[in-house]
Amino acid sequence: MQHKFTYIFLLILILSSSFVVVKNSEVALSFTLETTQTAFEAGTTIVLKVATTKEIKPLLYCSNSYGSTLLTPIYENKILSYTFPSNISSKIGVIKWELIHEESSISGEFNIHPKQVVSSMETYIGPPSIEAGGMDYSMLVVIPTDSLDNPLAENTLVKTKYQFLNLEKQDDIYTKNFIAYKNIYSQNKSGRILVSSEALHTNSKEFSITVFPAIPIDFKILASRSHAYADGNQVTTFSTSVLTDVQNNIISDGTFVSFFITNDKGSILNTSGTTINGVATSKMIHPDYGTQWTVKAYVEGIAESNTITLNYSQVVKDFKVEFSETNRGISVGPLQSFMNQMIPDGLEVKLFVYKNNRVLETMTKTSFNGFVDFYLKPDVFKNDTYSIVLKTAGLKKTFNSKILW
Amino acid sequence: MKETTNKYLIVALLIGVVFHGTSMFFTLESTYDALIHLFFSDHYANSWFEPWNYEWYTGFTVMSYPPLVHQSIGLLSMMGGLKFGLFSVALISIVLFITGVYRFSLLITSNKTVAGYASILAVFSSSFVETLHVFGQLPSIVGISILMHALPEIYLWLKTGRSRYLATSLSLIAVTVTSHHVTPIFGMVFFVFPLIGMVILDVSRDQVDTLKEVSFKIFLNSFFKLFNRIISFGMASLVIIIGCIFPYWINSKNNPITQVPIPHGSRDNFLEITSSGLMFFLIPWGILLILLPYIFYRYYSKRYLFFGLSITLLTILGTGGTTPIPRMVLGETAFNILTLDRFTLWASIMSLPLLGEFAYRFVEGDLKALIRVRFGAIYHRIIGGILAGLFIFMTVFTMSLGYFRPFQPQKIEMLPIVNFLNQDDHDKWRFLTLGFGDQMAWLSAQTNAMTVDGNYHSARRLPELTTRPIERLENSKFKGVAGIGSLQQFLTTPDKYNLKYIFSNDKFYDPILYFCGWQRLQKLENGIMVWERLNVSPISSILPKDDVAKWQKIVWGIVPFLTVLIAFILNIQMLLVNTLKTRHKKTPEFLKFSNRYSKFSKSILKITHFWSIFLVVIVFYNLYQFYLKNDSQRSPENAIIAYYDALDFKEFEIAYSLIDPTSNISISQYMLETSLSGGLLNSYAKLDAIETIITSRNDSLATVKVIADWITPLEKIRKIDYKSVSKYHKKWYIKSEGLDTDLPPDQLFSNNTTSYFNQGRRRITTEQTHHEDILKQPVLEVLSARLVKYGTHFAIIGEIQNIDNVPADIVLKGTLYDDHNKELATYNAKYHVKHKLFPKESSAFRINFEGIAWSKTQDSIPDTFNPDEFTPVDFKEHPTKFNLQVAGNVSGSDLYKKSVLSQLDINGDIISGNLFNSGIQEITVPQLLISYYDQNKTMLWVDHLFLKEGIRQQRKKGFEYQILKNGKIKIISESMENVFVNGLPNAHISNKIIPNRIENHSSSELQKIKHPDFSYIKIEMNSYIGNLN
């Protein structure tokens, strides 16, 4: 039992002595920021110095708007030096850092501001085409950037310059939230606006905005034709006056104009044209019977023309019909035009065969040298009595009770 | 006895390699299947272990076809390109086939000379020539060849029970199954079962003195004796057949073939469709037809009894739809999936040993003696000459079939297309080929770009495809109206499939492309026209796929070659011994059963003679019928049909030769007249059916009513003509018809138009958002839009105007919703809109809601389908709202607007009038868009009419239009709330540009009509120009 107490005593002695040693060597760990600068220019080397009381190398956590990383220090004479990598030090904005250790920690932040030297002008313009009249606009957005692709500081002056016709103008705008922008309104005239910008003596390249004419206003139409006869062959050309917008700009080439023609019978025909230098032309073949045309042109929903009337006089006054080959062969003609010349080839002649007031067959043929020949095939038309109606050039001839045999 | 090399086999191999090896360079690439196998090989060459292929059908798995042949070509392609691989594998298959036939014949006949004869004849057998040089079915050939190699091994295993033979036979079965799945399955039934029967008979024979003494009891005893071997072999081969291509079976189970059966010629009634009869019956059988009595006689002899049953079944199954038996035997499903020509192929291959035997007996055996005795030596020589001549004729004929009747379009130079797809990110979209034939597979093998189409129809996945009986969209015109209908769906809603480019090798499709809103981009150096569609977004970079487990991919990638390796190791020893004769080998068991060929049956000789005479009579009768049908001037009907056929195939010289010579038209005049008549019917129609009815006839004159159904890409046209036919010098001729004599006023005239050129990117860069070069999307305005119901189907109709200063290509996409805002259907505007609009031009439009046709009633595809008709979506809920998305893109093409309405008459419900072409382009297909309005001038409906004929410059053309009869149209929604232009609200955008729009501006120019439901109509013109000047 004696020994037991001896051992306990010894153990207590050893334990207590070890505490004494620990207590003697303990120096409190603390970090002190040595670097006082809190703003840096982008691209410079940033070294954060922290004084430490112990020789340890804790990692530094830092983050900017692009991301976060950990930095390893260099220890020298109780000073920890943290060098920020270029991917952090070349981007403007706030960098937050924090040095965390189990016993002590320290944190802070600093700013990186851009170099005030423009290396490129990031420019956007859109839409690339607008309408004349002062209402429509295109927006110019300029972001002057330094060599490290950082936008320049707030309120950097950007001179915008533009040229339109005789006008050359310059406007000063300032960057706000890194961008400078301006709405460029169209003028009354159509054409092309060239735009460029300048910041700190650096110029952008040339940009262009196309100013299209606005929508057309009402216009006039006229017709030209080689004669006023309804020969079903010649072509009448309609054309518009120069179509302009309300500011007197000639409207865009290719604008679609529809021409509606109403004839005596109330049929509505139509033709169309697209403008070239404001004038749209369209063509229409002459009718093959005497009629009156009322013509009006439209740009749908936007503008319209006056109404013009054209008269076409009948050329084929009458025509003869001859039956042959047991009444199955029907020869129509001569079809003669206004000077008694044979009508130009292609005049349509329609033959209707009726039986008990019901159309059995409609045949359409075109004239050749003033004549048209029909033949009623015996397989289609059995031997019987039929009514035969012939129509051409607005004329109609009826032959009732023709016997085919 | 010292073994000698079989000189016949050597000769067969030499001739076979020289004959097929040289000719395949001219045939193989234009066969039906070779290029498809090439495409699969390309897949393996690029991604050996990944079975998913994105290039076809919006993705499919290559686990749907056994891989060995494809992988072999793929492996060899690493050495010398895909085609090198293809030809090498083809050469190997030729050697395998010839040796296979030799071994099979040796097994059957137990006579080396006979087997040698058989192998020589096999080289030229028409079924082999057809399978290789016409169909290009390499896997099938490899499969059957290996199976023939396996048969002697199986025999030896069953007979001797030595496990070595079990290993060799199973190893060969494994190679067979990895090269072609159908071969071992049916091969088991048709080749191995009869072989087992033969072994049992042989074993029984060993117990008695003569074959005659083998009774059923002995047979049964032998069967039980061999039972263990048979079962062990059967079970093991079953395991191998399933195990070696296990991923294939899993895939078949997961993706069962649930598609509308695709018609195949081998299922036709050969008597009705004689071309199928030729391809799938006459050619594969060839000269064997004459020997049928001999073949059946021999195979029904006691030893071969089971082969007799097998070949009978094969022969009957091979007759396709000629008799109802194949359908009954196979069942409806299998009948519609299998191509039945393979049964004929197997039957002909099964007959080869007996062909060899017959030849041997005829040339140097007892048959020669018999004929000489009975008919004399000269007769023997003559018969020999005839038989040899027929045999060679069949081979030559089969070989050159592709020359007489090309299976494929002319060979297309693919390089310009491949270059086009690689250029400027064009492969970021899907493409489609039209009129390429099977060459589309070769294009796919050369590019990484994807297509919506494909050439392996079992793997199709889109319901738009699986519900149609068409193999490919690419050749849809040959699939009649169903094909065109399917194609139309893809052309109308290409954005759904990211389909932007179409390579067209067939101008037949041009009108449909134009009227669906496509535009011509450029003609490549190889003459292929590239069409593009605007406003289609590129394929997303991550695409869905049906992934499979990793072990499946590994099994699929490794096992096929492993089977070859194992088979090679197991069989090589015997092969070397056999060829090099290094040591004396015991005669194989089956050589003990040789026939002495001493007495040829007289009755068989007699029957063969009668049979031959019968065949000759049939052949001559058919030839005579053929002559009667094809002698174009024998009867009025023949003359008419020949004339229409000539017009259909543009053989104008033939057509001219049928024109009445007394009409004094010179050929140059005739050709001039036909060349001037363009249009839908003359240039784009395909004759579908023709019926002639003679309405009157005497000795020298006849009138024929011709009812011709033409399929055009746009609609089906039925045209009834009355043709006068007259007889002149004992030949019937057709009277020529009059010409349109319309004479234009001007000889030379001018026309000013505004034309546009879109630079695309001014700077040469593939940067996708080079913002300076992005044109603003043209601003469009939807003037009116309403959801209407006409009969049973719904449509969005309305009017749209380009209110910008630049021309626009427009895409309209409508979506229908029910009361609970649930989306019901989406579709694009097809024909019922002018897709290209000048500034300030407007167009009426209608969007139909087409369902995937016939998806519900798979088996009741209407016979009278019209491409213009469609299956409306079957709505379960009632649509009440709609959304309309309109997109404009700058486009300077197809802006021809010179079609003019020059005359109009309304007579009851018929509107007739004239269109006048006032411009300098010839209008190929004129179209009218007819809008209907009620008494308040509210638009109710939009209809269309295609004119059948084109309009030349400064000429007019009449039209007739039938006003809709039942016009009860119900307006369901008129809300313009959900109408968007380029993604922006319609009202907002239009107020900015045209704040003071004159509403219903030209409504005073609507044409009044008398109709109970409609009060006014408006007619607009649209025109397709086929040949731009």
In chain B, where the domains are located:
415-454+463-532, 631-734, 771-856+871-1024
Residues A372 and A389 both lie in one domain:
yes
Classify residue A293: in a domain, yes or no.
yes
Tell me the two tokens of residue A301: 């929903």
Give the minimum alpha-carbon distance from A245 to chain B in angstroms, rounded to a whole number. Answer: 12
CA B674 to chain centre: 31
Question: What would the mean pLDDT of B226-239 be, rounded to a whole number?
Answer: 90
Whether pLDDT at B302 is above 60: yes
DSSP-assigned letter for residue B538: P
Tell me the two tokens of residue B484: 């065109």
B 869-898 residues inside an 8 A Cβ radius of A: 895, 897-898
Out of A131, A262, A366, the one facing B740 most closely (by C-beta) is: A366
Residue with tokens 């103008």: A169
Residue with tokens 């079609």: B899
- Tell me if A300 and B1005 make a contact (CB, 8 A cut-off): no
Classify residue A11: in a domain, yes or no.
no
Question: What would the mean pLDDT of B636-640 be, rounded to a whole number?
Answer: 85
Q: Which residues, at least 6 apart from B726, have a Cβ–Cβ distance to it below 8 Å?
A: B660, B662, B700, B701, B702, B732, B733, B735
pLDDT score, position A161: 92
Classify residue A361: in a domain, yes or no.
yes
Q: Is the dihedral of CA B1020, B1025, B1028, B1029 positive or negative?
A: negative
Give the minimum alpha-carbon distance from B515 to chain A in angstroms, rounded to a whole number. Answer: 21
Q: Cis peptide leading into A127, omega within 30 of 0? A: yes
Residue with tokens 């040789």: B594
- Could you tell me the CATH number of the domain that includes residue A195? 2.60.40.10
Q: How far apart are CA B226 and CA B583, in angstroms?
A: 30
Give the minimum alpha-carbon distance from B776 to chain A in angstroms, rounded to a whole number. Answer: 6
Whether pLDDT at B800 is above 50: yes
Instruction: Give the best residue of A238, A262, A271, A375 to mutate against chain B (max B CB count within 10 A).
Output: A271
Residue A324 pLDDT class (50, 70, 90 cuts): confident
pLDDT score, position B853: 43
Q: How far apart are CA B381 and CA A278, in angstroms?
A: 92
pLDDT score, position B583: 60
Buried b (16+ CB within 10 A) or exposed e, A364-384: ebbbbebbbbbebebbebeee
Question: Which of B92-101, B443-452, B466-475, B751-760 comes out lowest in average pLDDT?
Answer: B466-475
Tens of pLDDT, residues B849-904: 876 543 333 333 444 444 445 556 666 778 889 999 999 999 988 999 999 999 99
**CB of B911 less than 8 A from some CB of A:** no
Tell me the two tokens of residue B667: 């050929």
Question: What would the mean pLDDT of B669-697 be, rounded to a whole number?
Answer: 81
Out of A252, A270, A364, the one facing B901 most closely (by C-beta) is: A270
pLDDT score, position B116: 92
pLDDT score, position A26: 64
Give the minimum alpha-carbon distance from A327 to chain B in angstroms, rounded to a whole number. Answer: 19
Q: How far apart are CA B1026 and CA B929, in angstroms?
A: 19
Helix (H) or strand (E) holding B691: strand B686-697
Residues A226 and A289 both lie in one domain:
yes
Helix/strand/coil (H, E, C) string of chain A?
CHHHHHHHHHHHHHHHHHHHHHHHHCCCCCEEECCCCCEEECCCCCEEEEEECCCCCCCEEEEECCEEEEECCEEECCEEEEECCHHHHCCCEEEEEEEECCCCEEEEEEEEECCCCCCEEEEEEECCEEECCCCCEEEEEEEEECCCCCECCCCCEEEEEEEECCEEEEEEEECECCEEEEEEECCCCCEEEEEEEEECCEECCCEEEEEECCCECCECEEEECCCCEECCCCEEEEEECCCEECCCCECCCCCEEEEEEECCCCCEEEEEEEEECCEEEEEEECCCCCEEEEEEEEECCCEEEEEEEEEEEECCCCCCEEEECCCCEEEECCCECCCCCECCCCCEEEEEEEECCEEEEEEEEECECCEEEEECCCCCCCCEEEEEEEEECCEEEEEEEEEEC
Q: Which residues of A touch B761 (CB under 8 A)?
A: none
**CB of B806 less than 8 A from some CB of A:** yes
**% of chain B residues with pLDDT over 90:** 37
B 713-752 residues inside an 8 A Cβ radius of A: 722, 724, 738, 740-743, 745-746, 752
pLDDT score, position A18: 57
Cα B242 to Cα B177, B188, B237, B245: the distances in Å are 9, 13, 8, 6
Amino acid at B206: D
Question: What would the mean pLDDT of B404-412 be, rounded to a whole number?
Answer: 80
Question: What would the mean pLDDT of B813-835 be, rounded to a whole number?
Answer: 90
DSSP-assigned letter for residue B555: H
- Tell me if B771 and A126 make a contact (CB, 8 A cut-off): yes
Question: Which residue of A lies nearest to B996 if distances are taken between CA atoms?
Answer: A302
Question: What would the mean pLDDT of B662-668 be, rounded to a whole number?
Answer: 80
- Tell me if A267 and B1007 make a contact (CB, 8 A cut-off): yes
Q: B631-734 architecture in CATH?
A: Roll (3.10)
Question: Which of B318-327, B472-481, B992-1001 comes out lowest in average pLDDT?
Answer: B472-481
Classify residue A21: in a domain, yes or no.
no
Residue finishing a domain among A212, A229, A261: A212
Out of B900, B993, B997, the one facing A131 most closely (by C-beta) is: B993
Q: How far apart are CA A98 and CA A61, in angstroms?
A: 5
Q: Which of B266-275, B287-296, B728-737 has the highest mean pLDDT?
A: B287-296
Question: Which of A389-393, B682-686, B868-872 comes out lowest in average pLDDT?
Answer: B868-872
Question: What would the mean pLDDT of B840-855 be, rounded to a whole number?
Answer: 77
What rounded mean pLDDT belongs to chain A? 88
Out of A124, A284, A300, the one facing B842 most closely (by C-beta) is: A300
Q: Which residues, at least 6 apart from B526, have a Cβ–Cβ distance to it below 8 Å?
A: B412, B413, B414, B415, B416, B417
Amino acid at B367: L
Indicate the length of chain B as a whole number: 1029
Torsional class of B152: left (φ above 0), alpha (ψ -120 to 50), beta (otherwise): alpha
Question: What would the mean pLDDT of A23-44 be, rounded to a whole number?
Answer: 80
Indicate the length of chain A as a whole number: 405
Residue B507 pLDDT class (50, 70, 90 cuts): confident
pLDDT score, position B865: 42
Residues A83 and A152 both lie in one domain:
no
Whether pLDDT at B685 is above 60: yes
Q: Which residues of A touch B805 (CB under 8 A)?
A: 129, 131, 212-213, 251-252, 254-255
Question: What would the mean pLDDT of B487-509 be, rounded to a whole number?
Answer: 90
Question: What would the mean pLDDT of B604-624 be, rounded to a whole number?
Answer: 89
φ and ψ at A183, to 5 degrees? -90, 125
- Tell me if A233 and B771 make a contact (CB, 8 A cut-off): no
pLDDT score, position B866: 47
Tell me the two tokens of residue B903: 């005359």
CA B776 to chain centre: 43
- The whole-model pTM stands at 0.87
Q: Which of residues B360 and B865 earns the better pLDDT score? A: B360
Residues A305 and A325 both lie in one domain:
no
Helix/strand/coil (H, E, C) string of B339-357?
CCHHHHHHHHHHHHHHHHH
Q: Which residues of A touch B780 (CB under 8 A)?
A: none
Q: How far apart are CA A37 and CA B682, in angstroms?
A: 87
- Tell me if B752 and A276 make a contact (CB, 8 A cut-off): yes
Classify residue A26: in a domain, yes or no.
no
Q: Of A295, A315, A292, which Cα lies nearest the Cα of A305?
A: A295
pLDDT score, position B577: 65
B 511-570 residues inside an 8 A Cβ radius of A: none
- Tell me if B1007 and A283 make a contact (CB, 8 A cut-off): no
- Number of domains comprising chain A: 4
Tens of pLDDT, residues B102-148: 999 998 888 888 999 999 999 999 899 999 998 899 999 999 999 99
Task: Tell me the residue range of the domain where A306 lies.
Answer: 221-314
Residue finishing a domain among A212, A233, A253: A212
Classify residue A22: in a domain, yes or no.
no
Strand order in the sheet with A47-52: A31-33, A47-52, A79-83, A74-76
- Tell me if B696 and A379 make a contact (CB, 8 A cut-off): yes
Q: CB–CB of B119/B600 below 8 Å?
A: no
Instruction: Give the best residue of A129, A190, A283 to mutate against chain B (max B CB count within 10 A).
Output: A283
SS3 at position B823: strand
Question: What would the mean pLDDT of A295-311 be, rounded to a whole number?
Answer: 94
Give the minimum alpha-carbon distance from B510 to chain A in angstroms, rounded to a whole number. Answer: 26
Give the minimum alpha-carbon distance from B387 to chain A in angstroms, rounded to a whole number. Answer: 54
Pure H helices in B376-479: 377-399, 401-404, 415-422, 439-446, 463-466
SS3 at position B1015: coil
Classify residue A205: in a domain, yes or no.
yes
Q: Of B625, B633, B415, B661, which Cα lies nearest the Cα of B527?
A: B415
What does DSSP say about strands A157-164 and A180-185: parallel, antiparallel, or unpaired?
Answer: unpaired
Tens of pLDDT, residues A143-192: 998 888 888 888 889 999 999 999 999 999 999 998 999 999 999 999 99
- Tell me if B840 and A284 make a contact (CB, 8 A cut-off): no
pLDDT score, position A255: 94
Residue with tokens 């008549």: B677
Q: How far apart are CA A275 and CA A250, in angstroms?
A: 10
Residue with tokens 């190929």: B924
- Residue B1: CA atoms inside 13 Å, Cβ hemisphere, count? 5
Instruction: Give the best residue of A131, A226, A274 to mutate against chain B (max B CB count within 10 A).
Output: A274
Whether pLDDT at B1 is above 50: no
Residue B431 pLDDT class (50, 70, 90 cuts): very high
Q: Cis peptide leading into B256, omega within 30 of 0? A: no
- Tell me if A215 and B771 make a contact (CB, 8 A cut-off): no
